[in-house]
Chain A
Amino acid sequence: METPDQIRDRLLARFPGAAVAVVANPGPAAQHSLLVGGAHGRAIAEFLRDDPALRLDFCSNATGVDWLDREVTDVASTTVPDPAGGPAKVVEQKTKRLQPGYLEVVYHLFSMELRHGPVILRMRTGNRSDKVTLPSLTPVWRSCEFQEREVFDLYGVVFSGHPDLRRILMWDEFKDHPMRKDYAEPDDYEWEPTPHGDVLAKAKLHYPAAEPAAAAPKEEPKP
């Protein structure tokens, strides 16, 4: 099978202007991946599926990774010649910068027909709050249908073009995205809104006689 670099070169030739880069994997597995911009994500996925040399017809795994904001230290080393004529000194200058966080979606593609793989496709969102839309690859590989719903549910990536984007593991009324690294668990999982607070006040409007004043609950509603 072609190396990720070769696939990247072919993609750049096929889609001029697309953002395609190879993300190196330093581990012993050395599964390098292709980082693709969201704008061309769908077209590139279709190309990978239909290309006769690749035929990546099987999207085995689709999942998300949450990368928080992190401080990165860049080291720039400059060689300063010694004015006295001695050996040149190497001066390292460290600069810290904040690398903004993002959500990443990873697809592991294989070919059942040609029996090769994996080719790893990654797409990144703009940030972790309001620019979280990525193109859905469910129209390309049906196997992404539930897995993208899971990424939407647990990470909060919004897939445009998904036929049925709903929560899948958590319940529909759930607010947060529990797989995010900065997710804070609610205080009390068992709390139900039925007999407390706003719901009770509303119920009183409907059934004023059924609710004697003395039976009103004294405890504060939990958030």
Chain B
Amino acid sequence: MSFSDLSPLESAPGPQIRAVHDEFHGDLLEVSMGPHHPSTHGVFRMNVTLDGETVVRLKPVFGYLHRNHEKIGENASYLGSMPYTDRLDYLCSMTNNWAYALAVERLSGQGVPERAEYLRVILAELTRLLNHTCLAGFLLQDCGASGTPLMYAFREREKILDLFEALSGSRMMCNFQRFGGCRTDAPPEWLDAARELADGYGAFLDEFEELLTGNEILMARTQGIGRLPAKLAVSAGVTGPMLRAAGVGYDLRKVDGYGVYPRFEFRVPLGAHGDTYDRYMVRVLEMRESIKILQQALRTLPRGPIIDPKARLRGFRAKPGEVYSRIEGPKGEIGFFLVSEGGPNPYRYRVRPPSFINLTILEDLCVGHSIADTVVILGSIDIVLGEVDR
């Protein structure tokens, strides 16, 4: 659809309950699905009202992992929150770190050396590969393909985690970005290993796609399921691959052009139907673009310092002011809103969590589909409860 069809934007009405009480229909059945259901990717609950097997109402319930991350961020120093951002979306700690470091840099007017910018792009694209590979594996697991696709995905994820471990010392909780650069430099051996991985990843994707993309069962389970209209997606603030699967070309790497992304050539894949299959397909295509960015960045990585020598880390104080800064994380727009009063810790520290906001339209997607499809739709939204609950 063309973009002009989207306006004027209206908020979509909430789904209506179809309460039918005649001789052909029984009573509506309320099911509390979760919080320990294996398909909910963590501790997440859905209060589902069913008419037979069809969902007529769905209310997500979460907060089981809530630890008031934002309050802790307000009481910790600026640097002290950096390792804590790893725990938001624990699959994508590198992009969480970058989003937070970028927000603090914009708050204080701090610059970043070239080499660090390139390294950030490399790590963010590796994170995107990792996240989308896992998501595809989990989605197939949710469809009932027990084991095989997930294990293939995890095999590749392990290779990326090895790279992260070699560079930062930790597989998942990387704590790698700093205000004004990165923590450590990447040695030539690491860059060779990253190059090897980037060059080999296309072959894995070919194999993965051969197994899945044309698979009849996957197509039957996902095509036409959980359609998200573009108008609703924009109004509901859906971002990331979910938004682009709905046909809206809005990628912050292109729109904001933060970091050194404008120097790389890549395309933004868009979906045509906005259904679950498109959400799977957009992610696979995004991985192919990520490989291109990785190869370009690894080829043109400049020499130089990894962190601004004048950057202050431990005694860091920002001037009074505020900033909202966002980047394109693998799950969508991850933003940080910081208010500084000049003290050693932020007065207000707010995370804009992409998967929390993407959940807003879960009910709209699921109503009218069967309870088994709910599981697949939730899998395609790609949530991580560490970030939803914060």
Residue contact A28 to B360, C-beta cutoff 8 Å: no
Shortest CB distance B385–A (Å): 12
Which of chain A's residues has its CB closest to B12's CB?
Answer: A142
Number of residues from B at the complex interface, CB < 8 A:
53
Given contacts A59-B237, A106-B337, whether A142 and B63 have CB atoms under 8 Å apart is no
B326 at the interface (CB under 8 A from A): yes
Residue contact B356 to A146, C-beta cutoff 8 Å: yes
- Chain B residues with CB under 8 A of A50: 7-9
Given contacts A65-B348, A108-B324, whether A146 and B360 have CB atoms under 8 Å apart is yes
Q: What does DSSP make chain A's interface, helix, strand, loop or mixed?
A: loop
Residue contact B359 to A27, C-beta cutoff 8 Å: no
Measured between alpha carbons, how far is A22 from B359 in the docked complex, in Å? 33
Residue contact A65 to B237, C-beta cutoff 8 Å: no
Measured between alpha carbons, how far is A171 from B322 in the docked complex, in Å? 31
Measured between alpha carbons, how far is A26 from B320 in the docked complex, in Å? 7
Residue contact B324 to A118, C-beta cutoff 8 Å: yes
Given contacts A49-B8, A61-B352, whether A143 and B319 have CB atoms under 8 Å apart is no
Given contacts A29-B321, A61-B350, A179-B70, whether A139 and B11 have CB atoms under 8 Å apart is yes
- Chain B residues with CB under 8 A of A139: 11
Which B residues from 332 to 366 make CB contacts under 8 A with A?
333, 335, 337, 339-340, 347-348, 350, 352, 356-357, 359-361
A120 at the interface (CB under 8 A from B): yes
- Chain B residues with CB under 8 A of A112: 234, 248, 250
Apart from A29-B107, A63-B348, A142-B232, what are 11 other A-B pairs with CB-CB below 8 Å? A25-B321, A27-B109, A29-B322, A55-B7, A60-B239, A113-B7, A154-B70, A163-B14, A169-B66, A169-B389, A179-B68
Q: What are 18 residue pairs bridging A and B, where the CB atoms are less than 8 Å apart in the complex? A: A27-B322, A28-B319, A29-B107, A29-B322, A49-B8, A60-B239, A60-B335, A60-B352, A65-B348, A142-B11, A142-B12, A143-B235, A143-B236, A146-B356, A146-B359, A169-B63, A169-B66, A178-B68
Residues of B that sit less than 8 Å from A by CB: 3, 6-9, 11-12, 14, 62-63, 66, 68, 70-71, 106-109, 232, 234-239, 248, 250, 255, 318-326, 333, 335, 337, 339-340, 347-348, 350, 352, 356-357, 359-361, 389-390
